[in-house]
Amino acid sequence: MLNSDQYTRRDFLTHTGAAGLSASALAMLGNPLFANETGAPMPVGKAEHCIFVWLGGGAGQIDTWDPKRKGDPKNKKPGSYYDAIDTAIPGTQVCQHLSRCAPILDRFNIVRTVHHDVIDEHAAATNRVHTGRPTSGTIVYPSVGSIVAHQKGAAGDNVPAYVLMGYPNVTRGPGFLGTRHGYLYLTETAAGPKGISRPKDLSRERNLRREKLLQAVREGYVNRHQEDQLIADYDAAVEQAQAMAGPDFARIFELDREPADLRNGYGGEFGQRCLLARRLLESGVRFVEVSHNLNFLNGAGWDVHQATIEDQYKLIEELDIALSSLVLDLEAKKMFDKTLIVVGTEFGRPPGFDAGGGRGHQGKTFSMILAGGGLKNGITIGQTDDLSQNIVDRPVSIPDFHATIHCALGINPREELYDADNRPVPITDGGEPIREIFS
């Protein structure tokens, strides 16, 4: 007998024989399990994968995607650090150091009015943007990557659903969903994870004998602890690791298989991570986070207090090269409409300058990016005031931004998941998607 309190959309599809209907069809039919509280159906996008580019430290919107009048740090005159340039979106300008993205900005949607109330704490703000919720003392919420992994699974065989090239901490993790919906962590682009790679001196036959022995031990232990979810999750992780230990998964990391011109076009290490992200998606990985604060070109990454802002342009240019190359590469591979690109950060920067000429933190309005994914691209969402300090029109909360990501991937942002105590937790905290960017 079904428990009506836990009756999800997946149960609906399974138990009514409606599995043959697509999510789009269900939404068009007014399926209440894919609607908001007013009964309006949620938009259902066409994206199959997601690349989440993370600008850790707090990328200043006024110096990147939402430029305003030029400021003067020496004389403490508020404003942008750089000049602005026109883009492929009429009336929309970006910073001069985004010169490669500017002419193809019609493939992007700039969301200029993202906001939250976390200002002075990087970890709390990072958690807010990754999970869509405030930090809680009673429950660990799953990250957006883990929710996508849980809802969609991998799109290929013997690959993980979620890969992280960044900082492996709880903000990126599965929370109450359990370790099987966590990430595979990568530290370099040249090779796969060392922990699952088979030693070169270990023959295939010897490895098979080992796996057979391990399988017997695993089965016996799991059978004796059938009610222990932690053990079940660990066993599932072992099985996935064994599946990825072969040569097929390792081949994904052989970036020299790509044409030299393409590799060079992506730029340095960050660009190579973006290229690897594309290859991971081709193999069937569903969600990849690529962090752009691993190689600090200015000593502080995007956290540009004091004099570290002087070299901020190097970060912007590196982002510009890699991001524009990724967009054009996905287009050439016929993957752009199937791949949602997200550029996120924990908060923005105010227009004023501190004593050393740098900037503080600003959570009340900042910019994030959505591109590809079959969306109606080329739209600038929201308007800020003359110094990008306050929202003038079309605020977008973090739950709204998360709802947009999930809808683009065909996930119902209102579907309820269940924590360890069997309490219902909606996928987003009441988020409404940005409907104008859905066809």
Q: What's the pLDDT tens digit per position in 293-324? A: 776 788 889 999 999 999 999 999 999 999 99
Residue 76 is inside which H or E element, if any?
Answer: none
Contacts by 66-69, CB closer than 8 A, 24 or more apart: 66/110, 66/112, 66/367, 66/384, 66/388, 67/93, 67/94, 67/95, 68/351, 68/386, 68/387, 68/388, 69/386, 69/387
Higher pLDDT, 224 or 427: 427
DSSP 141: P
Q: How far apart are CA 157 and CA 97, in angstroms?
A: 40
Query: What is the b/e burial string over 301-313, where b = at least 16 CB atoms within 10 angstroms of the residue's CB?
Result: bbbbbeebbeebb
pLDDT of residue 346: 97
pLDDT of residue 353: 97
Residue 419 has pLDDT above 70, yes or no: yes
pTM beyond 0.75, yes or no: yes
| Phi, psi of 397, deg, nearest 5 | -75, 165
pLDDT of residue 226: 65
Per-residue model confidence as pLDDT tens digits over 60-86: 999 999 999 999 999 999 999 999 999
Residue 89 has pLDDT above 80, yes or no: yes
Residue 145 is inside which H or E element, if any?
Answer: helix 144-152
Looking at residues 334-362, what average pLDDT do you find?
A: 97
Confidence at 237, pLDDT banded by 50, 70, 90: low
Closest Cα partner for 48 from 288, 400, 291?
288
To which residue do tokens 């996930």 refer?
411
Higher pLDDT, 340 or 39: 340
The overall average pLDDT reported for the chain is 86
Looking at residues 121-146, what average pLDDT do you find?
A: 95
Give residue 131's identity as a one-letter amino acid code: T
Residue 153 has pLDDT above 60, yes or no: yes
Residue 34 has pLDDT above 80, yes or no: no
Give residue 298's identity as a one-letter amino acid code: N
Looking at residues 247-266, what average pLDDT do you find?
A: 91
Residue 5 has pLDDT above 90, yes or no: no
Q: What token pair was written down for 413?
A: 């942002």
DSSP 319: H
Residue 235 has pLDDT above 90, yes or no: no
Looking at residues 244-252, what average pLDDT do you find?
A: 75
Confidence at 232, pLDDT banded by 50, 70, 90: low
Residue 14 has pLDDT above 70, yes or no: no
Residue 13 has pLDDT above 50, yes or no: no
pLDDT of residue 144: 98
Using alpha carbons, list the distances in angstroms from residue 399 to 129, 147, 427. 9, 14, 9
pLDDT of residue 3: 37
pLDDT of residue 63: 98
Q: What token pair was written down for 34?
A: 């894919």
Residue 222 has pLDDT above 80, yes or no: no
Residue 26 has pLDDT above 60, yes or no: no
- Domains located in the chain, CATH noted: 1-39 (no CATH), 42-194+245-437 (3.40.720), 198-240 (no CATH)
As a 3-state breakdown, the chain gives helix, strand, coil percent values, each rounded to 5, of 40, 15, 45
Q: How far apart are CA 411 and CA 421, in angstroms?
A: 23
Looking at residues 39-66, what average pLDDT do you find?
A: 95
| Phi, psi of 353, deg, nearest 5 | -115, 145
Per-residue model confidence as pLDDT tens digits over 185-211: 887 777 666 555 556 666 666 656 766
Give residue 308's identity as a one-letter amino acid code: T
Closest Cα partner for 326 from 290, 378, 287, 283?
290
Confidence at 215, pLDDT banded by 50, 70, 90: low
Looking at residues 107-115, what average pLDDT do you find?
A: 98
Residue 351 has pLDDT above 60, yes or no: yes
